[in-house]
Structure 1
Amino acid sequence: MKRSKIFFLIAGAFFLFSCSKNQEKYHFIKGDDLGFFIFDDFIKEFNDQSKIVKYQFTGGGAQTGLFSLMDETVDVVFSLKELNNEDLALLKSKKINLEIIPIIRVPIIFISHKTLPIANVNQKQMKAIASGYTKYWWQMGTRKERNILAEFGEIEFASLDSRNGEYHFVRKWLNLNDFDLDSHYSKHNSEIQDYVSQNISSIGYLALPFYNKTEDTKIIFSDQSLESTGYLMINKNSFKQSGEKEKFIISFKNYLSSNSLNLLQKGIKVINETQSE
């Protein structure tokens, strides 16, 4: 008899626990990998305090996130890519009611192998490299420098693939329809630095927070104009409960504001209300 009572007590407790877990509602955020720097701690804090509504962030890139938003498999996208007319038309056709909020700015930098005997390049030179117009390093030097640069051979341009917001931002900044067909493409920022550090003839770009000074690379180009804006793109249709979306936005902005100095040390500039106007 006692065993039966214990069994029913355990079963009842498990049932109540299961019910409480079933009441949890998750909102999914997808987008550029830079989001791991800004969402991880926020989501942990928010989920610890919220009994029902929870959030989860996965990377995968801005473009992947936008497609998922259109399929309504995610609720929010973090994107370093500005929406183009094609994106807007697709979102409209899917009847996605979108709210877009600029939240951060981040520098994009170009890096090369540290042994490359070139101190820096300019935007015009980067466009020539990325487009494939300039194919060899000797083309970048003076007559005296060409023999040394010739040892570095053919230029290998390393780019993030089209899933990533940085890809779209850099392509737009260079005013190119696409990069050279022989470009090396990577899924993640960290892979760019790994590739450049292992290939002395390569040059590539990545978001500043991913740059590791201990690698065999150096920054060969950085400029204030090469600063990308990160956006929250929220599907309003996903937030049915009154005040649910507003609570998320306010909580997230408060988190960014209170952690702005820490984020700035990583190269991420928080946009305040005045700056976004």
Structure 2
Amino acid sequence: MTTEDAVTVEAVESLRDTADPRLRELLGALIRHLHAYARETRLTRSEWEAAVAFLTETGRTCTDTRQEFVMLSDVLGLSTLMETVHGHGGPGTTESTVLGPFHMTESPVRELGADIDLVGTGEPCVISGAVRSTDGTPLPGAVLDVWQADPHGHYDVQQPGHQPPGNGRGLFTADGEGRFRFRTCVPSAYPIPTDGPVGALLKATGRHPYRPAHIHFIVSAEGHAPVTTHIFVAGGEHLDSDAVFAVRESLVKDFAATDDPALAEELGMPNPFRHARFDVVLERA
């Protein structure tokens, strides 16, 4: 055994009295992988110091309305990997994807059909659909937590004093047939914040910071596993190069141009408007 190997063995052995076996397993694996990384890359002292400084600055950048560590996990693909490993239900269920760093506040409860675009600066659209179980049974009372950026790519928590609190957010309860509907604006592609260490990392690696246009959902219903997901605007930019690797083909939806004065009046929309259909299928828990 080399001296390098002996350090790893000793560090793992130091966990032998850890009462929680899962904690012991997780920390042991972390030590082994970190040590293997350092040996494989022949990590220098200055590189190690730079990594410590990077993580320190990542922590300092976090606030009540900004989660830089979540963004770091996102741009390294770890968040999407977690969803790939754990987030998918059975065949036919709605695919899951990343939570993202801006689910930082409670969405206000809104009535079905309400408008979550409180500033009215974007292209009007309606999102409608139904929540059902894998056997097709509607799920009345399903809860949909929805949030999105404004047409300029900013969430309400990023612009306090400019956007009203709760702009782009809503907590909806599906009707007796599992149906839901709300009004909003067509989302746009936007860059994740680049003024912190994650932005510096993207620049250093020659990567762009953009996410394709999307709306976030968390959908839950009694007796079923919840799903954290998005819908993406078909034909939009960056669908093939999402900075956080979250696009799923099944979640790309057509925001169809609709010119129907009678339907617009029924939905409380100006005419013409855009309309996207998103049906959610949940797996029984």
TM score, norm. by length of structure 2: 0.25
Higher relative contact order (CA closer than 8 Å, sequence separation 6+): 1
TM score, norm. by length of structure 1: 0.25
Larger Rg: 1
The structure where helix makes up a greater share of residues is 1
